[in-house]
Structure 1
Amino acid sequence: MEHNVQLRKNINKNYVFVLLQNIDLTRGIWMIYLASKGMSLTQLGLLETIFHITSFTMEVPTGAVADIFGRKISRILGRIFSLVSVILLLAANSFLWFAISFVFTALSYNLESGAGDALVYDSLKEIGEEHSYMKISGRKEFFYQIASVISFFVGGYLATKSYNIAFVLTIVIASINIMQSFTFKEPSIGRIEAKGDNKNIFVKQLKASIKVIIDKPKIGFLIIFTEIVMAFCTCIFFYLQNYLKGDGYSEAVIGIIYAVSSLGSALVATQVHRIEKKIKEQGLLLLIPLVAVACIWGVALSSFHYIFFIVLMLMEGILYVSISDYINKMIPSENRATILSFSSMVFSFFMITLFPFIGMIGDRYSLSVAFKALGSLGSVLVIINSYTLLVKVNKKSAESTEKL
């Protein structure tokens, strides 16, 4: 009974963890900060590529770490690596050390990406409340976005005074977050026991997880679908900082714009379970990418680009909360962290090429042209996605008619 009480406490503890984890006062200014250190858009793109190459190669191994040695241990290590990355970014003055910092940042994301959601979902599953995951995930997204509001608003203001203050405060908060990460209770289910004589436990875990995806191809589809849309949103999220700066906006105003987008996402996140009930999975898969690409074009063509950016972030939040629930329901607990890490690996795969591509176009022509290129590519993908989904719907309708 006491064990179940502690598992239930994991849920509220996770809200606090997510809040502290994402109060990163450098999040909305790091590209501007690095530009002030002499980095070009191409170099910024390369740094992000280094981040995603590291993430791509290490996602699945770190997911296996969480499944084998525990979600809590993986989460603690992730917070320590994150602290190291911020310290390096503050102290560094060269591309090489910035790159090393990005490697540590990627590893911190890797260690958290599968472990965090797996810890929460399996805590709920062990006490028989996994049906409430979408609602809880929406609340978690709320705290994530509230942290973003604080980060963008306060970080943007501090950047007008001193970048160093923003970094130092982030280091202090990260240190508190590390201590709080020790308070979680590890779920009993989903843990693969590591035996001393089993030298191939990592290989076996990876093979077992791959088999789950092969046996359930819908998992693979949802992962690829989600991460493509997320990659497009991420490119806009980061490069818009420099775009707005070049358009005459101060760091404080940019922080306010990003804070408003996060506040809107926070409010919408708590209602995703209700939205999903109305338009269902098929509606989400059709509507989200369509609206997202329309917003990318709005950013590229409209003088009210910040409004389209805010709506784009709302779409990203809805997608994350809903698809995360769909995927978790199909994954066995013992493979959960590893497969969720596959998802992050797919995201990194798309970002490795897409992010520097946008940076190079921005350097050679302009970010406006780069956003138009992103919108064009997105339009092609939306047409393919819509056609594929509608064909499936028509096929199912035809099969149902034949049975009648």
Structure 2
Amino acid sequence: MNYKNRLRKNVGKNYLFILLNNFSFTNGIWMIYLASKGLTLTELGLIEGIFHITSFFMEIPTGAIADIWGRKVSRICGRMVSLLSSVIMLFSNNFLGFTIAFIISAISYNLESGAGDALVYDSLKEIDEDKKYMKISGLNELIMQVASTGGLIIGGYLSKYDYKYAYIAAIIIGLINFIHCFSFTEPKLEMKTEHKNLTILKEQVVESYNIIVSIKGLGFLLIFSQAIFMFNTSIFFYFQNYLLDNGISQDKIGIILALASLGSALVGANGYRIERKIGQVGIIAVVPILISVCIWGAALSKYYYIFFIAVSSMESLIYVVVGDYINKLIPSEKRATILSMGSMIFSAYMILIFPLIGKIGDMYTLKTSFQVIAFIATVMSIVSVFIFRRNNKKEI
């Protein structure tokens, strides 16, 4: 099989990777699992905060590693470290053990965050099919959410009997995916590979930062999209405890979260169609306002679960469409590093917001925490509209 055909097969192989990677039995139960071990909401917020502090400092180095040593290498290492994290989660019984597991999990997330998208986009670019990326990204989102749906439902039922069953199942799936990662073909890029040392790493980071500064709108898109992801992630995780406090059982929590994933799947898969209808103005100016309105609904309405599903669906739209906008602006040899810089921004948001939500939840209620998130989302959506209008609605 020739090189271009192997690159083309990366797309299909990535579908399987996403399926396995997101068929997570623990995503919907880890907060209530740790709560069952005696951790308070404040401690849960601290652990997630530590995860993002680790991620903040490791994002750029791991992104540069993917650009210099290879996306495939980075992905393989990420899955190996993820397995280690799951094993530690399974056998830990205290705050320190869970913190170590989360630190290792953050590194696995970092190793994948820039490398995965870069591997697919650059495979398409080398075979002159990069215009298909938004559509392929939408299908990736569909697979991710369908897998997440299955994992949430099964994980919810497994945890109803014993939380450890969910973690054992996750380890088995993770091992299969780790083996699958060796089948990818690395795109041949013009990268600095002759001296893979700290000097090259530093140059990679500095040059990537200069690209973000020099390309109009790129920095805004990174900051804007990661803010949306932060709101959705914060609500998703604390929503588990919110539902439990309202008398919803673990299996039903899994079903509600699964419905949110299905909504995200439908919207993400049709992201390229929606973008054609509403354009950049709709994506960047209108959708954030709708998200903030829905967060208020999740905080105040008795139909909170419907608004939660709406937030998840619109976040999926932002992920697919804005991800395509960003990839079109950045060169291949800096792609993983710049995408990792975006993830670093996400971590910075989470370091500030996630522990705050847990603290407010302990002091008052999670409903109050959601109101705080809604207020912050409203302010940031207004600011994003202002910045977009200031740029005269030109293509970013």
The TM-score with structure 1 as length reference comes to: 0.96
Q: Is the 8 A contact 1:261 1:311 kept in 2?
A: yes
Aligned counterparts of 1:43 and 1:316: Cα–Cα separation in 2: 27
Are 1:22 and 2:31 matched, yes or no?
A: no
Q: Please give the secondary structure, in 2, of the residue aligned with 1:186.
A: coil
Aligned counterparts of 1:190 and 1:374: Cα–Cα separation in 2: 43
Residue 234 of structure 1 aligns with which residue?
A: 233
Instruction: Mark the runs of 5 or more structure 1 residues left unpaired by the alignment.
Output: 397-404
Deviation at 1:218, TM superposition (A): 1.0
Aligned counterparts of 2:194 and 2:22: Cα–Cα separation in 1: 32
Q: Residue type matched to 1:268 in 2?
A: V
Aligned counterparts of 2:387 and 2:14: Cα–Cα separation in 1: 37
Q: Residue type matched to 1:206 in 2?
A: V
**C-alpha offsets along residues 136-185 of structure 1, whole Å, 9 cap, x if unaligned?**
00001111101110111101111111111111011000000000000000
Q: Is the 8 A contact 1:194 1:201 kept in 2?
A: no
Q: Residue type matched to 2:199 in 1?
A: N
**C-alpha offsets along residues 86-117 of structure 1, whole Å, 9 cap, x if unaligned?**
11011001101100000111000100000000
Residue 331 of structure 1 aligns with which residue?
A: 330
Shift of the 293–190 alpha-carbon distance from structure 1 to 2, 3 Å rule, reads: farther
Residue 127 of structure 1 aligns with which residue?
A: 127
Deviation at 1:382, TM superposition (A): 1.9
Instruction: Mark the runs of 5 or more structure 2 residues left unpaired by the alignment.
Output: none
Residue 160 of structure 2 aligns with which residue?
A: 160
Q: Please give the secondary structure, in 2, of the residue aligned with 1:182.
A: helix
Larger Rg: 1
Deviation at 1:357, TM superposition (A): 0.4
Deviation at 1:392, TM superposition (A): 3.5
Q: How does 1:90-169 map to 2 (within 5 A)?
A: 90-169=90-169
**C-alpha offsets along residues 317-368 of structure 1, whole Å, 9 cap, x if unaligned?**
0000001100000100100000000000000000001000000000000000
Q: Is the 8 A contact 1:78 1:110 kept in 2?
A: yes
Name the stretch that deviates more: 375-384 or 206-215: 375-384
Deviation at 1:133, TM superposition (A): 0.3
Aligned counterparts of 1:118 and 1:80: Cα–Cα separation in 2: 19
Aligned counterparts of 2:255 and 2:48: Cα–Cα separation in 1: 24
Q: Is the 8 A contact 1:67 1:337 kept in 2?
A: yes
Residue 384 of structure 2 aligns with which residue?
A: 385
Aligned counterparts of 1:314 and 1:161: Cα–Cα separation in 2: 30
Q: Is the 8 A contact 1:268 1:314 kept in 2?
A: yes
Q: Residue type matched to 2:158 in 1?
A: L
Aligned counterparts of 1:199 and 1:270: Cα–Cα separation in 2: 40
Deviation at 1:190, TM superposition (A): 4.9
Deviation at 1:286, TM superposition (A): 1.0
Q: Residue type matched to 1:204 in 2?
A: E
Q: Residue type matched to 1:29 in 2?
A: I
Deviation at 1:391, TM superposition (A): 3.9
Are 1:349 and 2:348 matched, yes or no?
A: yes
Aligned counterparts of 1:81 and 1:143: Cα–Cα separation in 2: 23
Q: Give the superposed CA RMSD.
A: 1.2
Aligned pair count? Answer: 394
Deviation at 1:287, TM superposition (A): 1.6
Aligned counterparts of 1:55 and 1:64: Cα–Cα separation in 2: 14
Q: Is the 8 A contact 1:190 1:335 kept in 2?
A: no
Deviation at 1:387, TM superposition (A): 2.7
Deviation at 1:199, TM superposition (A): 4.8
Q: Please give the secondary structure, in 2, of the residue aligned with 1:175.
A: helix
Name the stretch that deviates more: 49-58 or 210-219: 210-219
Deviation at 1:13, TM superposition (A): 0.2
Q: Residue type matched to 2:342 in 1?
A: S
Residue 263 of structure 1 aligns with which residue?
A: 262
